[in-house]
């Protein structure tokens, strides 16, 4: 698994492969009893599921636990930068619309600005890239907003 950051792709180390559920009835690969597994999945009872549905749900729980483990071992500044770039992309998407969706772009830009400015000095090696990306978005927004309409 890898996480995208402004500095590029970063491999997230895997200590060991996630266990695969055994088909059909038997012990849960999650180590949970049926009641605990049903509660974790947000369903009333596993008794109503087919063996195939149960195996699929158990695999989903195993994958969620593995994802959580990987996130827990990834530095928070890398994950935060990844989310910040999602806000950047969201703003850019709204600015590329014809006509641009300035209200939605503004919200995404403001969210990115809040994050970058509010966490100044804590965003690690990705901070300069995030500051630059924010500045580019803000300049593009102002330039597009103040440009005369093409059909005027």
Question: What is the tally of structural domains in the chain?
Answer: 2
pLDDT digits (tens, 9 = 90+) for 46-68: 677 788 888 888 888 889 999 99
pLDDT value at 152 more than 80:
no
Dihedral (C-alpha) 19, 25, 30, 32: value to the nearest 10 degrees?
A: -170
Least confident of 40-44, 76-80, 101-105: 40-44
DSSP state of 148: P
Flag whether the pTM goes above 0.85: no
Average pLDDT over residues 84-109: 97
Domain-embedded: residue 152:
no
Boundary residue ending a domain (46, 72, 98): 72
pLDDT value at 102 more than 60:
yes
Confidence of residue 22 (pLDDT cuts 50, 70, 90): very low
Domain residues for the domain of 47 are: 2-72
DSSP string of 10-37, one letter each residue: EEPP-SSPPPPPPSSSS--TTS--HHHH
Domain-embedded: residue 99:
yes
- pLDDT at res. 86: 96
Boundary residue ending a domain (72, 104, 123): 72
Average pLDDT over residues 25-45: 66
**In angstroms, what is the C-alpha Rg of the chain?**
22
- CA proximity to 141, closest of 86, 95, 90, 93: 95
Boundary residue ending a domain (72, 89, 118): 72
Domain-embedded: residue 13:
yes
Task: State the Cα–Cα distance between residues 4 and 10, nearest whole angstrom.
Answer: 6
Residues 8 and 68 in one domain: yes
Domain-embedded: residue 151:
no
Average pLDDT over residues 97-113: 97
Q: Within 10 Å of residue 46's Cβ, how many Cβ atoms?
A: 17
């Amino acid at each position: 698994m890898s996480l995208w950051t402004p500095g590029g792709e970063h491999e997230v180390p895997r200590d060991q492969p996630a266990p695969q559920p055994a088909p059909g009835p038997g012990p849960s690969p999650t180590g949970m009893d049926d009641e605990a597994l049903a509660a974790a999945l947000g369903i009333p009872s596993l008794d109503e599921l087919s063996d195939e549905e149960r195996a699929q749900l158990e695999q989903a729980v195993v994958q969620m636990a593995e994802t959580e483990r990987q996130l827990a071992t990834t530095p928070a500044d890398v994950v935060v930068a990844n989310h910040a770039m999602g806000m950047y992309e969201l703003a850019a998407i709204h600015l590329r619309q014809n006509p641009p969706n300035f209200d939605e772009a503004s919200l995404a830009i403001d969210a990115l600005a809040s994050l970058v400015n509010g966490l100044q000095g804590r965003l690690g090696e990705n901070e300069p890239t995030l500051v630059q990306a924010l500045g580019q978005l803000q300049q593009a927004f102002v330039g597009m907003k103040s440009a005369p309409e093409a059909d005027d």
